Structure 1
Amino acid sequence: MTSPAPLSSASASPQGRPTVLQLAFRDKAALAVAYIPFFSEGGVFVPTTKPYRLGDEVFVLLMLPEDPQRYHVAGKVAWINPPSAAGSRTPGVGVRFPSDDKSRQVKELIEHSIGAQLAADRTSQTI
């Protein structure tokens, strides 16, 4: 299983604009590990060592396996794995999707892509 590949991460601008995080999933197993189904709107875990706070606004450019399209989702940091996280967890943030039509479409695409892995007991990058 491979990890999602952060393409790049840009810092928040001095004007307080949301940080842009790019994330490309090469395979469905990596997507299943990064997907956060316990957020009712859906969300993804983004590996990063940059410091974030709960509630920080971020903009995620997401590429799903076997799909050439980039999906743009504005979200908020709702989970943090600090670099010193217990259990050798990957440092990063969980981004909660907003409850809008575009985000619902992305959530449905992710859940369709990972299918049975969604219901299976699986290790994730959050809990």
Structure 2
Amino acid sequence: MNPVAAAARQGIISLKIKDVAALYNAYMPFLRNGGLFAPTAQAYSLGDEVVLLVSLADESERLSVVGKVAWICPTGAQGNRTAGIGIHFNETPDAEVARQRIENMLAGVLNSERPTHTM
């Protein structure tokens, strides 16, 4: 792939998670390294690399996680589902820190049967 096409296929998404319920809806624990669903109307393809800048609830520190698109919910999807992409965190120390912080915040609700943005 030429460098211009590669640059066009990488994106930066800023994601603000307001509370535990929103985090539960966005988190994808079924992915090996964890992942988050990010609402977006921007077109992505499976495997595209994305930098996710995540603000969690009341925390002042923003997490920066690199991952690849593993889920796509297009605009106009059935059931009025939110359009966006699911980002599978890469296997890096930063991603592991993010996964652990997210799972700590979701302790007690992680295994809930409530539907999320992805499943």
Fold shared per TM-score above 0.5: yes
**Which residue in the other structure is 2:86 paired with?**
94
Matched length:
115
Q: CA deviation at 1:84?
A: 2.4
Matched residues in 2 for 1:15 and 1:33: separation?
32
Write the mapping of 1:16-35 to structure 2, written as runs, cut at 5 A: 16-17=6-7, 18-35=10-27
Q: Which has the higher contact order (CA 8 A, sep 6+)?
A: 2
In the alignment, which of 106, 109, 112 is matched to residue 120 of structure 1? 112
**Which residue in the other structure is 1:51 paired with?**
43
**Which residue in the other structure is 1:81 paired with?**
73
Q: CA deviation at 1:44?
A: 0.2
Q: Secondary structure at the match of 1:29?
A: helix
Q: Secondary structure at the match of 1:84?
A: coil
Deviations 1:67-89 (A, max 9, x none): 11011011110000011211211
Q: Secondary structure at the match of 1:90?
A: coil
Write the mapping of 1:51-70 to structure 2, written as runs, cut at 5 A: 51-70=43-62
What percentage of aligned pairs have identical amino acids? Answer: 37
**Which residue in the other structure is 1:108 paired with?**
100
Matched residues in 2 for 1:36 and 1:82: separation?
18
Q: Secondary structure at the match of 1:119?
A: coil
The residue identity in structure 2 corresponding to 1:92 is G
When normalised by structure 1's length, the TM-score is 0.85
